[in-house]
Amino acid sequence: MPSVSAALVRRLTPADAPALRQLRLDALRETPEAFGSSYEEEHTLTLDDIRGWIAPANDSAMFGVFVQDALAGMVGVARQRKLKMRHKAHVWSMYVAPGQRGQGLGRLLMRAAIDHAAGMRGVRRVQLSVTANNDAAFNLYVTLGFEEYGHECEALCVNGVLYDELLMALPLAGK
């Protein structure tokens, strides 16, 4: 198994659209209960749609972790658009391919997302939601300083099964 030191985290660019599209669809199929969106809604997205996600933008970014030049994980971060909510950024699409888990790649991705949010002027908090039974993701977020601030009952219904979600936030120091 490759070590975390062999992994590269970088911001995704439109050239990464084919690999990102594949990984996103893999994620939605493999762990549908971990995401608000679904394979059924996204498998028709074109490469142009995906390029739109990763086109250069001041207020949003996606990061990928690469192992031997292959995209092994992804995360997105975006600040809220509304004037009254622009002090908050949201993390979405956090995923590491099953064969690459447990070696620190998820932590690298989350650190990149947090650092990016911290670099956005006026952003004071990073927020996310996580399915209540997702111990791996919850533990990762707690070790990075996220705190639970809410619990949404029956937040997702996936194939007829209801899942609660935990709402988590990381206050950015010095902001």
Pick the closer one to ligand COA by CB: 24 or 79. Answer: 24
CB closer to ligand COA, 7 vs 172: 7
Please give the residue ranges that form the binding site for ligand COA (CB under 6 A).
31, 34, 94-96, 101-107, 130, 134-137, 139-140, 143
Closest CB 36 distance from ligand COA, rounded Å:
10
Nearer Cβ to ligand COA (30/49): 30
C-beta of residue 130 within 8 angstroms of C-beta of residue 144: no
What is the rounded CA–CA span in Å between residue 116 and residue 125?
12
**Least distance in Å: CB of 32 to ligand COA?**
10
Cβ 125 vs Cβ 169: under 8 Å: yes
Helix axes 17-30, 47-54, angle to 10 degrees: 100
Contacts of 29 (CB under 8 A, 6+ apart): 39
CB of 18 to ligand COA, least distance (A): 20
Return the number of the residue (3 or 58) whose C-beta is nearest ligand COA. Answer: 3
Smallest separation (angstroms) from ligand COA to the CB of 48: 26
The backbone region for 33, taken as left when phi is positive above 0, alpha when psi lies in -120 to 50, beta otherwise, is alpha
Closest-by-Cβ residue to ligand COA is 106
